[in-house]
């Protein structure tokens, strides 16, 4: 811990005489202040003060201190607040004196309230010399300049307009924050960028033609600039050029104001003016603007259409006078009335005009004030309608009313006759109403009878289904062992006639079994008990399988089957039932192509459905046959039993297609012209009209 200053150990105290460098006439003649000092250390060799050994005359002038009062004294005695200074003077001077260093600094010396430029060096260890001069005025000027610069910078940065500075090559070197906000750009986007890149090309060419750099200044130049996001905005620019003493361009300053909102407002005003001007011109009534003297300031085309005069004949003239208005008394009355108008009230006049061709027209005039200035009327606006035809129509209407009144008397005479007729009509209406009530009751009775008949038919259909199911069951039970045993008997029999008879029995047993199965399937379809497993079906694949599986049948009957479905067409349905449809259709086709032929499978799709066709080159159908082929047990050729036809195949096909949500039809151009059966199936999920286990994609 340091001791009090007066008790500090002065390690240099033994030196009674000042060193040889302390006294010098050279220092006395210096304009700069000069002082020589001895550093004072504590017992730890830490500088804690310094003693003033010598000073020159300039020292007194610069510090205001007498040499006689400071020489031989310690600095802390001369400057009591020295150790409270922000800058540690003792430490700085101690470093110079003890480490033989030099130092140059510019500092504010608080005890004297001045700025000094100080140079100090060590002539001998433990000593230091200072030379200094007062720089307070310079520092004040610099501070004022800095303050001015700060004010300018503050104005520059906080300006409500964008300001840019470009160098002599028109590259951006400075800008304020509003510039970044306006352009949406950063320092990276702006610094060193050629100012032309801020403008659309055509705008920059237009600005170049103004030759602003040569003129040196341009105020309120309207143009467009491009923001970083490529949006083009309207701006007002003021530009000035700064030149050096040789007249060469040093830089340019641009002040940019965003006038987008103003442009929008101007455009809105322009559109509004155009709108009201268009309304003014297209008005079906004549509109006239008059000054306070009654002179026409403006008028729309309708006025000229009414009067037949040219624009130049009326604009600048008094409208309320001859030759435009026939009776002078009318014009006088109107002028007197207009002169007394105040506020927003409107007044009406009816006058007779004379057209340019001398025809008389009746005009209806509504007028109101344009406004007031200093309590005086500034003019009027008039709405003029040509009511000539209306007046004629009113007169005609008046005459018609008189005529109507006469006829009304005649009508009243016939009124009693009408009352009698009405009474008769009323009675007729009552009779009709009574008849309608009786008819309605009969309809209700008949509707009830039809409903009862419907229920009876439904019961009969159910009885039919139950009967068919039971009959089929009763027939299948004994038929099953017959079908199983007849082939065994055929194998064991060598007699030719017996084998022929057994073969006939086998075929008929199979025919009977197929008939029973078809009957059962039809009954299940009608009753809704046949289950469907709905899935996504690829038609090309399933048709290829059918052709392959039934190759022997087609070969046996010399039928060439082909699948023309080249693309992957999908439908939704029960795979087993769809195969059943195809099998019934191709068996029908094969059966009616006795000499062989072609069987073609095709398909096409539309937005919702797939249209599937099975076409043969067989014996064809007549129109009456085509209408019956889907009836139960109907056979086109009853004599043909070799294929085991039950007459139910197409009926079953129709039921299955309808249950799957489709339709089926048959077409033939006549006998020996082949037949085409076309049915549709949905492409997407559709409610099936029977019990369905699931609906999945396969």
Give tens-digit pLDDT for 294-338: 788 888 888 778 777 777 777 887 766 655 665 655 666 666 666
Per-residue confidence band for 5, with pLDDT thresholds at 50, 70 and 90? very low
C-alpha distances in Å from residue 481, one per residue of 476, 478, 494, 519, 644: 9, 6, 22, 20, 20
532-538 and 692-696: which strand pairing?
Answer: parallel
Closest CA to 20 of 123, 97, 132, 128: 123
Has residue 26 got a pLDDT over 70? no
Q: Which two tokens stand for residue 396?
A: 């005609």
Burial class (CB in 10 A: 0-12, 13-18, 19+), 525: buried
What is the pLDDT at residue 111? Answer: 95
Determine the Cα–Cα distance for residues 284 and 280; give it in Å rounded to an integer: 9
Which ranges in 72-228 belong to alpha helices (H)? 75-78, 89-99, 136-158, 177-183, 187-190, 201-210, 212-215
What is the pLDDT at residue 8? Answer: 40
Q: Are 675 and 620 in contact (CB under 8 A)?
A: yes
Determine the Cα–Cα distance for residues 502 and 487; give it in Å rounded to an integer: 8
Determine the Cα–Cα distance for residues 210 and 217; give it in Å rounded to an integer: 10
Determine the Cα–Cα distance for residues 159 and 376; give it in Å rounded to an integer: 45
Q: Which two tokens stand for residue 666?
A: 């048959």
Closest CA to 510 of 646, 611, 381, 413: 646
Closest CA to 568 of 664, 683, 657, 659: 683
Q: Which two tokens stand for residue 628?
A: 């019956």
Q: What is the 3-state secondary structure (H, E, C) of 275-343?
A: HHHHHHHHCCCEEEEEECCCEEEEECHHHHHHHCCCHHHHCCCECCCCCCECCHHHHHHHHHHHHCCCC
Q: What is the mean pLDDT of residues 500-519?
A: 69
What does residue 410 show for φ and ψ, rounded to 5 degrees? -65, -40
**DSSP-assigned letter for residue 74:** B
Q: Which of 85-89, 253-257, 593-597 has the highest mean pLDDT?
A: 85-89
Determine the Cα–Cα distance for residues 580 and 586; give it in Å rounded to an integer: 10
Instruction: Count the alpha carbons within 13 Å of 33 in the hemisphere toward its beta carbon.
Output: 20
Q: What percent of the chain has pLDDT over 70?
A: 82
| pLDDT single digits (tens) 627-672 | 888 887 777 765 554 445 667 888 889 999 999 999 999 998 888 8
CA dihedral 440, 445, 448, 453 (to 10 degrees): -130
Closest CA to 586 of 564, 561, 621: 561
What is the pLDDT at residue 527? Answer: 65
Question: Which is higher by pLDDT, 379 or 636?
Answer: 379
Determine the Cα–Cα distance for residues 177 and 160; give it in Å rounded to an integer: 9
Q: Which two tokens stand for residue 79?
A: 């400057």
Phi/psi region, residue 66 (left: phi>0; alpha: psi -120 to 50; beta: rest), is beta
Instruction: Count the alpha carbons within 13 Å of 277 in the hemisphere toward its beta carbon.
Output: 7
What is the pLDDT at residue 2? Answer: 34
Residues in a beta bridge with 371? 379
What is the pLDDT at residue 338? Answer: 66
Size of the chain, expressed as the number of residues it contains: 698
Residues 602, 604, 605: CA angle, nearest 5 degrees: 155
What is the pLDDT at residue 691? Answer: 54
Question: Which is higher by pLDDT, 277 or 96?
Answer: 96
| pLDDT single digits (tens) 526-558 | 666 778 889 999 999 999 999 999 999 999 999
* pTM, entire model: 0.35
Has residue 378 got a pLDDT over 70? yes
| pLDDT single digits (tens) 154-204 | 667 777 788 888 888 889 888 888 888 888 888 888 888 898 888 999 988
Closest CA to 41 of 145, 126, 161, 139: 126
| pLDDT single digits (tens) 450-479 | 888 878 866 776 666 666 666 666 666 777
What is the pLDDT at residue 10? Answer: 47
What is the pLDDT at residue 627? Answer: 85
Q: Are 656 and 577 in contact (CB under 8 A)?
A: yes
What is the pLDDT at residue 341? Answer: 66
Q: What is the mean pLDDT of residues 39-57?
A: 94
- 296-335 CB burial, b ≥16 within 10 A, e <16: beebbebbbebbebeeeebeeebbbeeebbeeeeebeebe
DSSP-derived secondary structure for 581-650: HHHHHHHHHHHT-TT-EEEEEEEEE-SSEEEEEEEE-SS---HHHHHHTTSTT--SSTT--TT---S-HH
Of 111-125, 254-268, 419-433, 466-480, least confident by mean pLDDT is 466-480
Closest CA to 260 of 178, 180, 182, 177: 182
């Amino acid at each position: 811990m340091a001791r009090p200053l007066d008790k500090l150990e002065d390690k240099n105290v033994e030196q009674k005489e000042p060193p040889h460098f302390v006294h010098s006439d050279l220092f006395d003649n210096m304009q700069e202040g000069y002082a020589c000092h001895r550093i004072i250390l504590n017992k730890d060799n830490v500088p804690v003060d310094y003693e003033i050994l010598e000073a020159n005359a300039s020292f007194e002038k610069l510090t205001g201190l007498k040499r006689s009062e400071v020489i031989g004294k310690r600095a802390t005695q001369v400057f009591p607040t020295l150790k409270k200074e922000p800058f540690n003077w003792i430490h700085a001077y101690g470093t110079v004196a003890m480490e033989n260093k030099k130092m140059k600094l510019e500092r504010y010396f608080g005890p004297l309230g001045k700025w000094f430029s100080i140079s100090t060096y060590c002539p001998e260890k433990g000593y230091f010399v200072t030379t200094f001069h007062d720089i307070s005025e310079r520092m004040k000027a610099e501070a004022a300049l800095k303050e001015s610069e700060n004010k300018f910078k503050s104005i520059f940065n906080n300006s409500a307009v964008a300001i840019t500075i470009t160098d002599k090559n028109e590259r951006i070197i400075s800008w304020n924050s509003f510039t970044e906000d306006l352009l949406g750009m950063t320092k990276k986007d702006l610094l060193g960028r050629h100012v032309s890149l801020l403008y659309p090309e055509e705008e920059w060419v237009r600005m170049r033609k103004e030759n602003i750099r040569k003129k040196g200044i341009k105020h309120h130049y309207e143009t467009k600039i491009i923001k970083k996001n490529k949006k083009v905005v309207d701006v007002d620019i003021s530009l000035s050029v700064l030149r050096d003493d040789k007249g060469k361009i040093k830089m340019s300053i641009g002040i940019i104001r965003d006038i987008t909102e103003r442009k929008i407002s101007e455009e809105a005003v322009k559109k509004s003016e155009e709108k009201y001007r268009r309304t003014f011109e297209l008005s079906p009534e004549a509109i006239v603007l008059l000054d306070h003297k009654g002179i026409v300031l403006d008028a729309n085309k309708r006025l000229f259409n009414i009067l037949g005069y040219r624009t130049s004949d009326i604009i600048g003239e008094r409208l309320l006078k001859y030759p435009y208005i026939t009776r002078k008394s009318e014009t006088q009355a109107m002028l007197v009335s207009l002169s007394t108008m105040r506020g927003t009230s409107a007044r009406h006049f009816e006058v007779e005009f004379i057209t340019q061709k001398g025809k008389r027209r009746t005009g209806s005039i509504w007028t109101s004030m344009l406004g007031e200035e200093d309590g005086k009327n500034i003019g009027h606006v008039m709405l003029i309608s040509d009511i000539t035809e209306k007046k004629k129509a009113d007169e005609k209407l008046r005459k018609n009313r008189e005529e109507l009144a006469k006829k009304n008397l005649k009508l009243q005479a016939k009124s009693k006759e009408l009352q009698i007729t009405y009474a008769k009509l009323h009675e007729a209406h009552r009779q009709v109403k009574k008849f309608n009530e009786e008819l309605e009751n009969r309809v209700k009775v008949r509707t009830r009878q039809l409903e009862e008949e419907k229920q009876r038919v439904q019961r009969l259909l159910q009885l039919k289904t139950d009967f068919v199911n039971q009959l089929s069951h009763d027939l299948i039970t004994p038929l099953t062992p017959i079908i199983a045993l007849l082939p065994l008997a055929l194998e064991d029999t060598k007699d030719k006639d017996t084998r022929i008879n057994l073969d006939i029995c086998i075929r008929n047993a199979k025919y009977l079994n197929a008939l029973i199965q078809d009957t059962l399937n039809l009954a299940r379809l009608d009753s809704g008990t046949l289950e469907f497993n709905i899935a996504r079906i690829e038609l090309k694949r399933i048709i290829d399988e059918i052709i392959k599986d039934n190759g022997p049948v087609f070969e046996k009957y010399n039928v060439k089957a082909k699948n023309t479905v080249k693309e992957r067409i999908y439908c939704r349905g029960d795979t087993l039932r769809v195969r059943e449809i195809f099998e019934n259709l191709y068996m029908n086709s094969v059966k009616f192509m006795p000499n062989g032929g072609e069987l073609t499978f095709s398909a096409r799709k539309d937005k919702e459905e797939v249209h599937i066709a099975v076409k043969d080159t067989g014996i064809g159908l007549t129109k009456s046959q085509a209408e019956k082929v889907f009836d139960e047990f109907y056979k086109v050729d009853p004599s043909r039993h070799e294929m085991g036809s039950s007459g139910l195949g197409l009926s079953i096909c129709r039921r299955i297609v309808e249950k799957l949500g489709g339709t089926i039809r048959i077409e033939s151009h006549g006998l020996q012209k082949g037949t085409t059966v076309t049915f549709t199936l949905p492409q997407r999920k559709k409610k099936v009209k029977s019990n369905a286990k699931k609906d999945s994609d396969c």
